[in-house]
Structure 1
Amino acid sequence: MNELQNLLASGKPLFITIDGFRQAMLAAFPLNGKESGKPDVKAACGVSQSEMEAYLKDHTLYQLETRIALEELQKVLVQSGKTPTVTLTDEFDDEHLPDNSIAYHRVWGTVMADSYRWFSSKQLAADLQTAEANPQISCHFLHINSPGGEAWYLDRLSETLRSCQKPILTFYEKMCCSAGYYIGCHGNRIYALTDNDYVGCIGTMCSFYDFEPYFAKLGIKHVEAKATGSDLKNKTFDDLRHGKDKKFVQDILDPLNAQFLTEVRGQRAQLSELPDDAPVLRGETFYTPQAIETGLIDGSRTMAEAVAEAITMGNEYSNANKLKTAIYNI
């Protein structure tokens, strides 16, 4: 089983939209019996076998896809002619980058904690720390299109995002939901691409399929025994499977949801002022105009406009640092 199959079959708590869950299920368990997995980057983007092998010695498949996506994005920005000269980079430890380079972080698809083929929240945390330590980088650019995903490790990633001294701009297209928003809410500014992008779905769920009745029809009997002193082993999960979800909700989902709400309230001033029963804090999803009114985001921009704003934020950060250094040296 691949990483996504393992996650979806595990019954782990998720920060994800129901549409995102369906899409992930179809990707992991396709109806034609053939795993769709991730796209063939070599065929899609003309990457040679030798180039792929060389890059993948030190990088994941997802990082290769990000590299290709970034190259395509840079071509579009150059052709638009509306963006000042800037270096968007995914080589966060490169000390030879031009001054005021922008760290490009791509949060695409299902969020996984630790993955080779999919976006990894652990990898993002490491990339943020590396970019923070590089004096040539002045701003973080979070580019998001995600329905959410795995809840585990997002509290640690949030700590890393909160600790960033350099400004963060979040720009999303299509969707920035659940775990995607858990990450994106740390942007000093958050922008959608169009009025029809959607954002929110702040909440926690668990979803999986019980195959035991199907196996029973096939004559496959499930046999289980527990030691005398192990009566509570897996009981919470077993109760959930049998329709008794109270303990699972109270002990697992509710604490995770409280963490999520605390994080978004702490990052977005307008959300912190809302009552607990506000729809936005109960999992509702919003298109861009309503998201602006609610306080989830700050507006909409084109990609070129968002990058230009990130450049300005980075320059302001760099100039402020230079001024502090000059004052300290007096």
Structure 2
Amino acid sequence: MSFLLTKLKDMSLKSKIISGVATAALATYLVKEAEDYINPKPRVSVLRLEGEIKAGNISPVSANMKINLETTRKMIDYAFKPKNLKLVCLSLNSPGGSPVQSDLISQYIKDKSVKHGVDVIVFVEDMAASGGYWIACAGSQIYSCRSSLVGSIGVIYQNIGVHELIKKHGIESRVFTAGENKAGMNPLEPLKESDIQRLKSILTDSHQHFIDHVKTSRGERLKGDDETLFTGEAWTGNKALELGLVDGIDTVDGYIERTFGDKVKVYRVKSGGGLANLFSAIFDPDFSIIGQLAAVQQLTAANHQLLAANEYDGPSFSLDQNSPIATPIAEDPLAFKISQESLKMK
């Protein structure tokens, strides 16, 4: 503070005007944050999950997100962390993947919802197909866009057989096992009927788990029969609404605006890894922490503006609306997205 007072004595009139604007902006922001801390607005968390559902970790610099319990656990935890939380909105975009990870994530979200007594509403972006729809059923309500792809309630296993190819080139497959069924579905050996029957049994069990999950979650809202709903077919949002797979056509921002107006504070949990999670998800959005961080950034930015003003010889100087002074918290530049150019149902 003594530094700032000394600096003010040596400033030109132009610099003092700029300093006053910066100080006023900072004061206004801190007052608003203090008021919200004393009389907090309702909180709504927006949690966004995007990518293929598969086990394994993700590198902080990877371009492809993996959705699984371990990569999403902390994000889900932080979505339920804000005080005065009224709703968690899950923005979902996934073509599917692992049935096990889909089940784990869905159950984890449901458990958090029950523990905190906070509803979860799901909003489908490009798609919630197969495992993506499994996760969507964790919400008490599901909304999608008109052209979103929804459904694909089925299970698939794929491999290729190359035994004829290697035979043609004089290659011999040598596989040794302890247990007669250990090497089932070996692509280097001819397909066995016993392997097919065992695999079909596994797929049928997993499919029934999926069906039971959907029926339990959607209940009487389902309007199609089993032969229509559970064949693995996917539909656009409008058709999914007719079949009872979604509750309406809507977007997360539109829903929040109509439900809460401006009397709400939206907390967006960031996806990604490394620093993206550390700095954008770890802090509780309350004045006690965020306000102080913002204040430090505001003062630093104001000092940079003042130094620039003192060196400026032009006819005028103005603060841009998008300057750091007008933006309390800078956005994290890291973002991880998957391409939606090709559709691949899992």
Q: CA RMSD in A?
A: 3.3
Q: Quote the residue 1:232 is aligned against.
A: 181
| 3-state DSSP of counterpart to 1:232 | coil
Distance in 1, Cα, partners of 2:42 & 2:211: 33
Corresponding residue to 1:208 among 159, 168, 171: 159
Q: Does 1:102 align with 2:40?
A: no
Q: Does 1:263 align with 2:213?
A: yes
Q: Does 1:289 align with 2:238?
A: yes
- Give the Å deviation of 1:310: 6.9
Query: What is the identity, as a one-letter code, of the residue corresponding to 1:162?
Result: K
Distance in 1, Cα, partners of 2:213 & 2:47: 20
Distance in 2, Cα, partners of 1:136 & 1:213: 65
CA separation of 1:286 and 1:305: change in aligned 2, threshold 3 A: same
Larger Rg: 2
Q: Quote the residue 1:92 is aligned against.
A: none
- Give the Å deviation of 1:154: 2.4
Matches for 1:135-154 after TM superposition, within 5 Å: 135=83, 137-154=85-102
- Give the Å deviation of 1:222: 2.2
Distance in 2, Cα, partners of 1:150 & 1:192: 22
User: How many residues align structurally?
Assistant: 214
TM-score (norm 2): 0.53
Distance in 2, Cα, partners of 1:302 & 1:181: 17
| 3-state DSSP of counterpart to 1:249 | helix
CA separation of 1:196 and 1:273: change in aligned 2, threshold 3 A: closer
CA separation of 1:261 and 1:241: change in aligned 2, threshold 3 A: farther
Q: Which segment drifts farther, 175-184 or 105-114?
A: 105-114
Indicate if the aligned counterparts of 1:169 and 1:310 stay in contact, CA closer than 8 A: no
* Percent of pairs with identical residues: 23
CA separation of 1:158 and 1:231: change in aligned 2, threshold 3 A: same
Corresponding residue to 1:113 among 55, 65, 70: 55
- Give the Å deviation of 1:214: 4.3
- Give the Å deviation of 1:256: 1.1
Q: Does 1:185 align with 2:137?
A: yes
| 3-state DSSP of counterpart to 2:83 | coil
- Give the Å deviation of 1:204: 0.8
Distance in 1, Cα, partners of 2:67 & 2:235: 26
- Give the Å deviation of 1:234: 2.9
| 3-state DSSP of counterpart to 1:190 | strand
- Give the Å deviation of 1:100: 3.5
Q: Quote the residue 1:43 is aligned against.
A: none
Distance in 2, Cα, partners of 1:104 & 1:303: 8
Distance in 1, Cα, partners of 2:52 & 2:226: 28
Distance in 2, Cα, partners of 1:155 & 1:302: 25
- Give the Å deviation of 1:268: 0.7
CA separation of 1:233 and 1:309: change in aligned 2, threshold 3 A: farther
Query: What is the identity, as a one-letter code, of the residue corresponding to 2:148?
Result: D
| 3-state DSSP of counterpart to 2:205 | helix
Distance in 1, Cα, partners of 2:241 & 2:87: 23
- Give the Å deviation of 1:208: 2.4
Q: Quote the residue 1:79 is aligned against.
A: none
Q: Quote the residue 1:223 is aligned against.
A: 174
Q: Quote the residue 1:171 is aligned against.
A: 123
Distance in 2, Cα, partners of 1:111 & 1:272: 25
- Give the Å deviation of 1:113: 2.9
- Give the Å deviation of 1:233: 1.7
- Give the Å deviation of 1:134: 4.3
Q: Quote the residue 1:15 is aligned against.
A: none
Distance in 2, Cα, partners of 1:254 & 1:160: 24
Q: Does 1:127 align with 2:75?
A: yes
Q: Quote the residue 2:21 is aligned against.
A: none
CA separation of 1:243 and 1:109: change in aligned 2, threshold 3 A: farther
CA separation of 1:162 and 1:179: change in aligned 2, threshold 3 A: same
Q: Does 1:246 align with 2:197?
A: yes
Indicate if the aligned counterparts of 2:224 and 2:244 stay in contact, CA closer than 8 A: no
